[in-house]
Amino acid sequence: MTQTSDSVTWLTQEAYDQLKAELEYLSGPARVEIAKKIEAAREEGDLRENGGYHAAKEEQGKQELRVRQLTQLLEKAKIGETPPDDGVVEPGMVVTIAFDGDPDDTLTFLMASREYASADIETYSPQSPLGRGVNGKKVGEDASYELPNGRSAMVRILDAKPYTG
């Protein structure tokens, strides 16, 4: 089965290593910890009214969901280098755009997998409408993308630099 570029997640070696370490922790020590919490809560008696038991089971469910997400992500991940500083928008770049070419109405974001999302910078996936619209464009070029209401929006690429963390 061939994978389309939409199903591949490009990660730096550092990001891959961080996600792999998280997966190993969640699959090993964290599973043991949650199993101990569940067992301790189970020993308290009646499970129907045992808040600690239900909280631990809910935490276990969330943890197992994250394990599945990480496993799927890492199976499809391709390790790539930091993109070149050539002004071309691509995953791994911090991009500044102006809406409708208005230099006062701008947005700066990291174009990357949602796994990169952090509080430090807004993140847009290359598969998002905006990401698809600007991907491959150069600084100074215009790009259009489809809004949720079906209309088209125009942006100008003001800057594109490699993300340095």
pLDDT beyond 90 at 157: yes
Would you place residue 156 in the very low, low, confident or very high pLDDT band (cuts 50, 70, 90)? very high
State the DSSP string of 17-70.
Answer: HHHHHHHHHHHTHHHHHHHHHHHHHHTTS-GGG-HHHHHHHHHHHHHHHHHHHH
In this prediction, residues 31-36 reach a mean pLDDT of 93
Compute the distance between CA of residue 82 and CA of residue 13 in angstroms, rounded to an integer. 9
Lowest mean pLDDT among 52-61, 73-82, 120-129: 73-82
pLDDT beyond 60 at 136: yes
pLDDT beyond 70 at 65: yes
If you average pLDDT over every residue of the chain, what do you get? 84
What domains lie within the chain, and their CATH numbers?
A: 5-79 (1.10.287.180), 93-162 (3.10.50.30)
For residue 1, what pLDDT is reported? 25
